[in-house]
Amino acid sequence: MTNIFGYLTSSLSRIPYRTIRDAGLFFLLLAVIWEAAVRIFKIKSYLLPTPTEIIKEMFQSSPLLWQHSLVTLNEVLLGFVAAMVFGLLIALAVFFIPLFRRTLYPLVIAMQGVPKVALAPLIIVWFGYGVSSKVIMAFLFAFFPVVISTLGGLATTPAHLIEHFRALKMSAWDTFWKLRVPSALPNFIDGCKVAMPLAVIGAVVGEFVGSSDGLGNLILLASGSSRTALMFATLFAITFLSLLLYLIVELCGSFVWWRAR
Amino acid sequence: MSIIPLMKQTEDIASTQSMTETSIIVDNVNKVFGGTGGVHVLDNVSARVADCEFVSLLGPSGCGKSTLLRIIAGLESCDSGSVEVLGRNVVEPGEEVGIVFQTHNLLPWRNVEGNLALSIEKTLDAGEVRELVQKMIGTLGLQGFEKSFPHELSGGMRQRVAIGQALVRNPRILLMDEPFGALDALTRDRLNLELLRIWQAERKTVVLVTHSVVEAVVLSDRVLVMSDRPSRVIEAVDIDLPRPRDPQSIREAPEFGECVVNLNRIMGL
């Protein structure tokens, strides 16, 4: 884990200093305006807590936030990895097997049209209040971008390179591994970048609909006891989690720097 | 200089060239794109290329010279007629043929060495591959760029690597489809010179598609001039300029000018 953080800081250090400084100052400015507005207009804390209250809450409830974050992180990661693996496999199957292109692909497209939020109650009924239903929700949210991007990548393998491989008498196997896979890889990574935050949303939606722990559940608990500051603290925790996971995907993706043209 | 109508006289051409062996025979090839009523691209094209001969296909753009090259390469089929390369009927790309296209076909995720090794790494062991790649890098003058990726190279260097990709398998025949078409004049001249050097050293049969009259004259033993669609070979022109040639100095020879004027006249310019 320390390794990943080391990589992350090094990749963050590549962002220009000015960008970091300006973004930081801007966020600070927003926080100050927020704080001032709440105090000046005497907005009640259970409606809108001040940033200082939220930060205080984050420290006080840090064991709670940490514990629920780990639950959600576990669900998100399992769902995301499943989406990556199955998304890749289904994209390959649809691309290379005409029968699947005529059957599985329309099913995938049709399922994409189903509002996945509305599926949550059904998933809870089928898979219970535990981890598995949230993993499936995360999977359902993250799955489509992976399939669609990977398919796009496979389909747009440059025709002149395919012909070149033919002229070089490369085998179908070599054409797959040495041409199609590396040329679709950037698109697959792009799909994963879109999928990662979606997996977080999926897991949280699942927790909203029925769960006993996780950050989504914590928001419900906080709301039930009118602890608005805790709600905000949890919201920030979800945002941090999502951002962190996205950066990790981005970092892994930076090893695929090329674009096939 | 002799100008010989090609059609049905291929035997004569062979004798005037004092050829020992024929490596490519194109016999009455027809090609129509898009089925009946489609675009008639090649109209009864016949040609012969001798072993180790350097032949250029010259013609207006879109006339089907690239199509003819692709048929010779086995990348495209013809509707009637036949193509024989080294005594074998062509139905698919062959081992003995290397192809260079106008747009370089380098893999962006492989460096120069990796790209050169692509076609031989399966059949040869690692040591041999390294040796051949190293030798090719020397031939192409790419020393110091072994680890560079295509996007880090200039257009001329990329095209060198593409030529290397075709040559590294040591094919007897090299087919080139406007390989220098996208390059600036200076780089083009330099690569022409190097192509001549490589051709002289390795003695390969070369068929080059080009729309540059000058390039055709500088490089070729013989130029086949093709007409507009439906394309035929209108004339085969021998280029009797002394070899070895230098793309710069050869332009000052009076025969050079004659050849260029003559070819331009045939092309109707």
* B49 lies in the same domain as B116: no
If asked whether residues B90 and B133 sit together in one domain, one would say no
Domain A54-253 superfamily per CATH: MetI-like (1.10.3720.10)
- Using alpha carbons, select from B17, B158, B37, B45 the residue that is nearest to residue B101: B158
Within this chain, do residues B121 and B139 fall inside the same structural domain, yes or no? Answer: yes
pLDDT in tens, B245-265: 877 778 888 888 888 888 888
Q: How far is B128 from B131, CA to CA, in rounded Å? A: 5
Do residues B127 and B259 share a domain?
A: no
ipTM for the complex? 0.81
**Domain assignment present for B105:** no
Q: What is the mean pLDDT of residues B163-172?
A: 89
Residue B9 has a pLDDT of 44
Please say if the pLDDT value at position B129 is more than 70: yes
DSSP class of A178: I
Q: Structure tokens of A33? A: 């305006």
Q: Cβ B118–A178 below 8 Å, yes or no? A: yes
B22 and B120 share one domain: no
Is the same domain home to B142 and B193? no
Residues B91 and B114 in one domain: no
Q: Does B260 share its domain with B219?
A: yes
Name the pairing type of β-strands B97-100 and B173-177. Answer: parallel
Strand ranges for chain B from DSSP E: 3-4, 22-33, 39-50, 54-58, 80-85, 88-89, 97-100, 173-177, 205-210, 222-226, 233-238
From B255's Cα to the closest Cα of chain A, the distance in A is 37
Round the average pLDDT of chain A to a whole number and report it: 90
Per-residue tokens: B183: 């390059």
Q: Do B26 and B137 belong to one domain? A: no
What secondary structure does DSSP assign to B152-179, as a single string? GS-HHHHHHHHHHHHHTT--SEEEEEST
B-chain CB neighbours of A167 within 8 Å are 73, 75, 93, 97, 99
> What is the total count of domains within chain B?
2
Q: Say if B24 falls within a structural domain.
A: yes
Task: Please tell me whether residues B245 and B183 are part of one structural domain.
Answer: yes
Q: Taking Cα atoms as reference points, which of A210, A243, A223 lies closest to residue A134?
A: A210
Give how far B183 is from chain A: nearest CA, Å: 18
Q: How high is the mean pLDDT of chain B?
A: 83
Q: How far is B239 from chain A (nearest CA, A)?
A: 30
Q: Is the pTM of this model over 0.90?
A: no
Interface of A with B (CB under 8 A): 160-161, 163-164, 166-171, 174, 178-179, 182, 258-261
CA distance A125 to A133: 9
B104 lies in some domain: no
Q: What residues of chain B lie within 8 A of the CB of A176, using their CB? A: none
Q: Which residues of B touch A178 (CB under 8 A)?
A: 107, 118
State the Cα–Cα distance between residues A232 and B16, nearest whole angstrom.
Answer: 91
Q: Which residues of B touch A261 (CB under 8 A)?
A: 108
In a domain, B141, yes or no: yes
Q: Nearest CB to B108: which of A168, A170, A260?
A: A260
Strand partners, B100: B176
Helix (H) or strand (E) holding A195: helix A181-209
**A-B Cβ pairs (cutoff 8 Å, strict):** 45
| C-beta atoms of A258 and B109 within 8 A | yes
Tokens of B208: 């080059």
At which of B128, B152, B168 does a domain end? B168
All structural domains of chain A with their residue ranges: 1-43, 54-253
Task: Provide the residue range defining the domain that includes B262.
Answer: 3-96+171-266
| B227: in domain | yes
* B51: CATH: 3.40.50.300
CA distance B115 to B74: 22
Q: Is the pLDDT of residue A188 over 80?
A: yes
CB contact under 8 A, B122 and A174: yes
d(CA A29, CA B42): 72
- The residue among A88, A75, A56, A45 whose CA lies nearest residue A187 is A88
With beta carbons under 8 A apart, name residues in chain B contacting A171: 122
Specify whether B208 is located in the same domain as B89. yes
Q: Does the pLDDT of residue B208 top 70, yes or no?
A: yes
Among chain A residues, CA nearest to B150: A258
Q: What is the pLDDT of residues A215-239, one digit of tens each?
A: 999 999 999 998 999 999 999 999 9
